[in-house]
Structure 1
Amino acid sequence: MIEVIHLKENENEKNLNNNEIIKNDSNNINNSNLTIINENNSNVSYYNFLNPLFKNTPICYIKIENVKQLKESLNYAINIVKKRVSIRSGGHSCCNFSILNDTVNLDMSGLKDCIVDVENKIVKVQCGVTFLEYYKETSKYLLGGPGGSCPSVCLGGLSLGGGSNPLSIKHGYLLDNILEITILLENGKLVKANSSNQYSDLFWALRGAGHCSFGIALDFKIQLYDIQPYYYHNSIELSFDSMIESNEIIDEYMKTTKSKNNVYIGLDYRITIKSKRLTNILIFFYIGDLKDGENEFNKLFQLLMKTSSPRVAEMNSEKVKKTFLEIVERVPYSNKTRRSFTKCRFSKDLNKKNSMLLKEIMELAPIIINKMIVPDAIANFSSTIYYHGGIQNQLPKDNCSFIHRGDDCTWSYTFICLYTKEENDQIFKEWKTKINSFLNFFGNQIYQNYPDDECTNWQSSYYGDHYPKLQQIKKKYDPKNYFKYQQSIELPK
C-alpha cells in the first residue's frame, strides 16, 4: 500500500481529493491502493518540517517502505500528478532541499535494511537507516568505518555528499568506501552503479554530487574495516579568551605530529541560553594503542598549558577507554522541530586570522541572547571545527566527483544557530549576517552535506573543475532534467 498524505488543494490538485478518481488512478500504478489522509489526521504530525525557517510545501508525502512502492510512487509523480519529486531520508538538509515546494515528497525513512557480510567486511544498507542504527549493527561484529557524526542523520543523503567521522583519518570519507549504489532513474529503470560496470560514470558522479541530481538512491554497498574494541577518547576545556593562541598551537601540533593519520581533533565553541557562557571544548580521538593515544594526548595538553589553564575532562584511564559506539552515542539524538541555520566552509588551517574572525562571530552570540524578544529554552549558538586530514584529504581529487582534498581542506568550520520562537527571527538573523560577511575569509569550498542556499557560485564551490563533466553525466542519465531543485546539476547549454 502507498500512503499518500495531501497537504493542500489548488486548481491543479482538486482531483486528488476525489476518492473515486484516486481509485481509478491507482489502477495505473500496478493496482496499488492509495490511502488519502487529510492534514487533520494525526499521522500527519510525523511530517512536520524540522526547520520552519524554510516553509517549503510539497503537494503530498508518500512514505516508501519497499522498492516496488518507490517505483510506483515515481510513476505516480511523473504520469498522474505530473510533478517532480523531492527526496527525504532523515530530513536533515540544512536548507530543506529534501522537502521542496510543489513536489511529491518521497519519505525514504522506512527503508531500513542493513545486512552485514562479516566474512567479506561489506555492508548493504538502505537509505533510511540512521547512522546510530548503522553503527549499532556493524559494531556487533567489531566492524565499522567512516560515516556521519550525528546519530539521527540517515545514510541516504549524507553518503552522497561526503561522510566524515573520526575513523575517516584512516579510511577516507564514507563515499570513498562505497562499492556500489542502487539508483532509480527517471525512466523507471533500477540500476546498480559501480566502478567497473556500464554505469561507472554515474557511480563517479553520485559520490559527491548525488543529492537528487541523477536519480533516487536506494541502497549502498560499503566497505567495512576491523575496529578496535576500545579507543582513546578525551576532551579538554580551553579558555575561550585564549582561543587564538590555543588554535595556533593545535594547528602546529597537527602539522608536525608523526601521528597525523591516527589523531582526530574536533573543536566546539558554544553558548546556550542556559549557560550564557562561551565555552571552548577540544575533542581528542586516537586510532591505535590506548597507551600511545594517552601519550599523544598528553603531548598536546602540555603544549596547551602555555595558554590559560586548560582543564582535562578525564584522567581516569578506564573512563577515556571507550568503544566506538559509546563515542557515537555521546552526540545527542534529536529530530525535534526547530528554527536553525547552518553555514560551513573548508579551510587550510587554524591560523590567527581565522581564529580572530571566529572569536568575533561567537562574541556576538551572548549579545543576541540578551536581545531576545521572547524567551527561548533551546537558544544555542555553536561554531564547530572538524579535522579533515589524514587519508581523507590525501586521496586524488579525481577519485570521484568530491573535490575537497589537499591542504586547502584540512579543517571545516561549521556555524549553527538553533532556536524555536518565530518572534526572534530578526534578532537571530544578525548572527547569520555576521557569518556571511566573513565566510569567504575561511575558504571558498563548501561541503555538500552543509549546502548554502545563498551561495551564487555554488557550482564552483561544491564541484570545482568537475562541474562540466557532471553536466554531461546529468544529460546522459536525466536528459529531461526531471530531478531538479535550486542547486541541482544543470544540463549543459
Structure 2
Amino acid sequence: MAVPNPIALLLTVCFLGFYVPAMSLASSSDKFLLCLSIHVPSQLVLTPTSPSFKPLLVSSIRNAKFVAPATARPPLCILTPTKASHVQAAVRCGRYHGVRLRVRSGGHDNEGLSYRSQRPEVFAVVDLAKLDAVRVDPRGATTWVDSGATIGELYYAVAKAAPGLGFPAGVCPTIGVGGHFSGGGVGLMMRKYGLSADNILDATIVDADGHLLQGKEAMGDDLFWAIRGGGGGSFGIVLSWKVQLVPVPPKVTYFSITRTMKQGAVNAVTKWQKVAPALPDDLSVRVVVQKRQANFQSLYLGNSSAVVRTLHRQFPELGVTRADCREMSWLQYVAYIYFGDAINSSPLEALLLNRTMPLGPFVKNKSDYVKKALTKAAWQKIFTWPSGAADGELILEPHGGRMSTIADTDTPYPHRSGVLYNIQYVQLWNDNGARGNNSTPNWINGLYDFMAPFVTKNPRAAYANYKDLDLGVNKVVGGVTTYESGKVWGERYFGGNFRRLAMIKRKVDGHDYFRNEQSVPPLLLIRK
C-alpha cells in the first residue's frame, strides 16, 4: 500500500475552480499561505521570516514617513507574480480565507495604501513589478503594457520600437503604470492628447472572484469605464493595458526658466494662469513655485523658434529667448525634465530603466483645482508664505486644450471644463523622531487653508493620484464600506462620477473584497 502524500491528507474543498485547503486547526493566515503554496512557486511568496522580505517591502517606498508603519505592521506576505494565474490564486485564496490584498505597481503612493493598512487586519501585498512587459505595435500605433512596468520603461520601449510615436503620461520615470493609469495620468502632453486614461483602448483584469477578464468585452462597459481613472484598489487587479500611441515630431523643445520675486516672478505667475490654458495645444508650460522663485518648464511639440514667437506674443512677461530653449528628441525630453543635465553623462537606458530611487525625506502632498485666476495680491502672499524649517513647493499643471473638449463623464476623471490648472502642494522634511510619523509641519496645512477661497468649491476638488487621507477615510459597517463615508472624499476626487463608480463597485465587487482607506464603496450595500 502506497504511503499517502501529507498534503493529500488535508481536507480540501473546490472553490471557484481551485482546490483550497481547509485546515480546521490552522489560522486563516496559515490557510492562506498554504493555499498560495499549492498554486504559486514558493520563491514568489516572501513572508516576514525571509531575509529578503523587508528589503522587498521597502524597495519601492518613496516616502520615508511610511517605512516605520509599514515595517511595524507588515503584510502577511508579499507575492511577486509572474503570470496571471498567480494573481488569480492570490484573489481566490484571499477571498476564501479572509485575507485582503493590497496591490502596488511602482510604490509612488502618497499615502502608502498599496503596501500598508491603517486597520488591524490581515492582508497581503501583490507586488506587480515582475509583470513589466511592454509590447509595442508600431504599425497599429498601440502598445500593451503591463501594470508593473514604469512609465520610464514604457517611454523607452515606445521610442525605440516606434520612432515618431510617444505617450502622454507623467514626469517621474519610476512611477508604476498600474497606479498612474488607474488615477488618470496627468502630464505635459495632456493639453494635446488628454490624460493617460483617455488613451486606454483595452485592458486585462482579475476581478473580485479571481476570474481573468481578457479585454473590455469580457469586463463590460461599466468596469472598463471605472478602471480608466476611478482609482486603484477598488475594482480588481489590472494586469495590462492597451494604449493608443500619439505622434511626436523628431524634435521637441524644452525650457526651464527661473524667475525670482525681484525678477517679476509674481507678475509672471499671475499672468501665466490665464495664458497657459489658452496656448496652442502643442505647447504646455507648467510652474514650480519654491523658495520665493518660480520655475517655468515647457514642452513644445516643435522647434524652438515657434516657441519664442508664440510666447513673445502671448506671454512677454516670461522673456523667453532662443538661448533658453533646448531642442531634443521626445525620449531625451522625458529624461531631461526629470534628471536635467544628468542625461549628458548617463545613458538614457540607465536613467529611464532604473526602477530604484533614494528613499529621501518625509513627504506630504495635497491638491487643488483652480477655475478662476488668483489675484496678484494672493500670489504675493503665497510666495512669501513662511516655510519654517521645512521645504515646500507648489506644482501648477495647466489644463485647457484637449482637456476642455473631453466630457467630464467620459472617464471618472471629472476635472475638465473650465479648469485652468491643478495644484500639487508638496512638503518635504526630515524627521528626527521628535514629530512622529503622523505629524506634518505647518507649512502645507496652513497654505492649504489659506487657498480655500481661491479654488474649486462644493466640493473642493482634488486629484485621485495625489491621494490625501486628510480628506476623509472609509468607515466599515457590517463588513462593508459605507457609501456615506466614501462620499466625503470620493466626490472631491471624482465629482458627480463618484455615484456611478459606487454603483459599478456594487455590481463587480458587492462584498467589498478590494478595499482600503479610500476605496470606492458599493452604493447599494449601505448598513444603517
**What SS does the corresponding residue of 1:486 show, helix, strand or coil?**
coil
Please say if residues 234 and 320 of structure 1, whose CA atoms lie closer than 8 Å, have aligned partners that are also in contact: yes
Aligned match of 1:473 in 498, 504, 520? 504
Q: What is the alpha-carbon distance in structure 2 between the residues aligned to residue 224 and residue 22 of structure 1? A: 41
Match of 1:76 among 93, 98, 104: 93
Alignment match, 2:148: 128
Please, what TM-score do these two structures have when normalized by structure 2?
0.78
Question: In the aligned structure 1, how far is the partner of 2:241 from the partner of 2:196?
Answer: 11
- Name the residue aligned to 2:192: 170
Q: Tell me the distance in 1 between the aligned counterparts of 2:330 and 2:41.
A: 46
Equivalent residues of 1:344, 1:413 under 8 A apart: yes
1:336 aligns with 2:350: no
* Cα distance between partner residues in 1 of 2:239 and 2:334: 24
1:66 matched residue in structure 2: 83
2:374 paired residue number:
351
Matching residue of 2:471: 455
Deviation per CA, 1:104-132, whole angstroms, max 9, x where unpaired? 11111111110001111000000011111
How many Å separate the matches in 2 of 1:404 and 1:329? 28
- After TM superposition, list the pairs within 5 Å mapping 1:118-267 onto structure 2: 118-140=138-160, 141-142=162-163, 143-194=165-216, 199-240=220-261, 242-254=264-276, 259-267=279-287
Maintained 8 Å contact 1:183/1:192 = yes
Query: Partner letter of residue 405 of structure 2?
Result: Q
1:88 aligns with 2:104: yes
Aligned to 1:4: none
Q: CA deviation at 1:149?
A: 1.3
For residues 374-397 of structure 1, give each alpha carbon's deviation from its aligned partner in whole angstroms, at most 9, with x where no partner exists: xxxxxx422111112210232011
Deviation at 1:322, TM superposition (A): 1.6
User: SS of 2:433's equivalent?
Assistant: helix
Other structure's SS at 2:228 match: helix
Deviation, structure 1 residue 243: 3.3
Code of the aligned partner of 1:151: P
Q: Is the 8 A contact 1:236 1:283 kept in 2?
A: yes
Q: What whole-Å deviation, never above 9, does each CA across 1:275-313 have from its counterpart, x for those lacking one?
A: xxx4321112222354322312444563335xxxxxx6x
2:399 corresponds to: 388
- Report if aligned partners of 1:253, 1:300 keep a CA contact under 8 Å in 2: yes
Question: SS of the residue aligned with 1:402?
Answer: coil
**In structure 1, what is the equivalent of residue 4 of structure 2?**
none
Letter of the structure 1 residue corresponding to residue 331 of structure 2: L
Q: Secondary structure at the match of 1:422?
A: coil
CA distance change for structure 1 residues 35 and 474 in 2, over 3 Å: closer, same or farther? closer
Q: 1:321 matched to which residue of 2?
A: 327
Per-residue CA shift, 1:191-249, capped at 9, x if unaligned?
A: 1343x666111111111214111111111000002211111211221123543321222
| SS in structure 2 of the partner of residue 128 of structure 1 | coil
Paired-residue identity, %: 22
Please give the alpha-carbon distance, in whole angstroms, between the structure 2 residues aligned to 1:13 and 1:213. 32
Deviations, residues 307-338 of structure 1 (Å, cap 9, x unaligned):
xxxxx6x7448x61021222211214763323
Matched AA of 1:294: V
The alpha-carbon deviation at position 454 of structure 1 amounts to 0.7
Equivalent of residue 398 in structure 1, options 403, 406, 409: 409
Contact preservation (8 Å) 2:183, 2:464: yes
Compared CA separation, residues 231 and 189, structure 1 to 2 (3 A): same
What is the CA–CA distance in structure 2 between the aligned matches of 1:42 and 1:173, rounded to whole Å? 37
- Are the equivalent residues in 1 in contact too, given 2:502–2:521 (CA < 8 A)? yes
Secondary structure at the aligned position of 1:265 is classed as strand
**C-alpha displacement of 1:358:** 2.7
How far did residue 25 of structure 1 move? Answer: 4.0
The one-letter code sitting in structure 1 at the alignment partner of 2:207 is L
Kept after mapping to 1: 8 A contact 2:206/2:236: yes
SS at match of 2:396: strand
TM-score, normalised by the number of residues in structure 1: 0.83
In the alignment, which residue of structure 2 is the partner of 1:284?
298
Amino acid at match of 1:268: V
1:325 is paired with a residue of what secondary structure? helix
Matches within 5 A, 1:406-425: 406-407=417-418, 409-423=419-433, 425=435
Cross-structure match for 2:127: 107
Provide the rounded CA distance (Å) in 2 between the counterparts of 1:304 and 1:34. Answer: 53
C-alpha distance in structure 2 between counterparts of 1:484 and 1:288, whole Å: 44
User: In structure 1, what is the Cα distance between the partners aligned to 2:33 and 2:57?
Assistant: 24
Query: What displacement does 1:422 show?
Result: 3.4
User: What's the counterpart of residue 438 of structure 1?
Assistant: 450
Is the Cα contact below 8 Å between 1:160 and 1:210 reproduced in 2? yes
**Is 1:193–1:202's contact at 8 Å kept on the other side of the alignment?**
no
- Secondary structure in structure 1 of the residue aligned to 2:412: coil
Give the Cα separation in 2 of the matches to 1:253 and 1:15. 61
Shift of 1:349: 4.5
Instruction: Tell me the amino acid that sits aligned with residue 422 of structure 2.
Output: S
Letter in 2 for 1:92: H
Where 2:109 maps in the other structure, the secondary structure is: coil
Q: Structure 2, unaligned stretches of length 5 or more? A: 1-23, 340-350, 473-487
Structure-2 separation of matches of 1:222 and 1:105: 26
1:454 alignment partner, SS class: helix
Measured after TM superposition, the shift of residue 467 of structure 1 is 1.9
Aligned pair count? 448
Displacement of 1:251: 2.6
Change (3 A) 1:414 1:24: closer
